[in-house]
Amino acid sequence: MNRFIDAMNIRGGERIIDLGGSAQFWDAVPVPLDITVLNLPEALDREVPNSHHRITLLEGDACDVTFADRSFDIAFSNSVIEHVGGKDRQRALAGEARRLAPRYWVQTPSIWFPVEAHTHMPFWWFYPPAMKAFFIRRWDEKLPAWCEMIKGTTVIPRSDMQEMFPDARIWTERFMGCAKSYVAYRAT
């Protein structure tokens, strides 16, 4: 969050649309913001939390947002683009982030991080298909909703992030030297 605050030159009062996020995520930002959280009905918070921010909760699809161009100062999305579906839907979310605000910050986990962010399995993306299918069958029995999310996750390489966000800088977040995530951002 500190990197976001610095890179986006957050001063307070910015109008932010959070595509696929939650209101509680913003608690760590010390200056008051005007935040619109857009999420699917089953994932959207039901109550606006008590906050120093002005928060609006809306149901919707981050790949097809009804707001006009440049309705916000910043479009933000944290670990959502890999869950929206295939490349066409990922490009749609990228297009919405770029359309909705002159500045944006879109993050996605890296395939190269040793522990996969959703399953917490080491080197998950490199397992043979039969081994992945074995784990998914077992998870599906006990945690069907979570397993559905895992099955619908498509990792995005850094090169695809650059292609979807041609006017962005790509920052590679690292942990212990390993690429943990990629952030496509436009600060001006």
Specify the pTM. Answer: 0.91
Maximum Cα–Cα distance across the chain: 50
Quick check: 26 pLDDT over 90? yes
Mean pLDDT of all residues in the chain?
Answer: 93
Q: Give the list of residues 6+ apart from residue 120 with CB closer than 8 angstroms, or none.
A: none
- Please list the alpha-helical segments (H only) found in 1-128: 2-7, 87-100
Q: Please report, rounded to a whole number, the percentage of residues in the chain having pLDDT higher than 90.
A: 73
Domains and CATH numbers, the chain: 2-111+153-186 (3.40.50.150), 119-152 (no CATH)
